[in-house]
Amino acid sequence: KAGVTQTPRYLIKTRGQQVTLSCSPISGHRSVSWYQQTPGQGLQFLFEYFSETQRNKGNFPGRFSGRQFSNSRSEMNVSTLELGDSALYLCASSSNIGGSYNEQFFGPGTRLTVL
């Protein structure tokens, strides 16, 4: 099976712009989670989508949003970018069906730099 893919791999934006990141999960996985990783805060959970519905959400402002399509591909959007949004954004897919989180398969990440 092909792994989790994320596009683009690198992105440079300026403050105030918006950005859309894409994630294609492993075939058959219906759960897609997004994480932000920074040196200061570590790995922080953004949200999880399952069958096109946001199932869980982390503590991020409304500028961070996402969606999932019928083929399980997911996008996340960050509007009105701030310098502090510079981070590695990681997507993970899994076969989570029930209430617990199983093994997560991570993509290589999108490195976002906000200038």
Partner 1 sequence: SQQGEEDPQALSIQEGENATMNCSYKTSINNLQWYRQNSGRGLVHLILIRSNEREKHSGRLRVTLDTSKKSSSLLITASRAADTASYFCATDARGNNRLAFGKGNQVVVIP
Residues that bind partner 1 (CB under 8 A): 4, 33, 35, 42-45, 48, 55-56, 58, 88, 90, 92, 99-109, 111
Task: Name the minimum Å distance from CB 29 to partner 1.
Answer: 13
Instruction: Calculate the alpha carbon distances from 91 to 16, 23, 32, 57, 111 in Å.
Output: 23, 6, 7, 14, 12
Tokens 């989670």, residue located = 33
CB of 7 to partner 1, least distance (A): 13
Question: d(Cα 16, Cα 1) in Å, to the nearest integer?
Answer: 38
Specify the amino acid at residue 105.
F
Q: Which is nearer to partner 1, 19 or 47 (CB)?
A: 47
Query: Cβ closer to partner 1: 75 or 105?
Result: 105
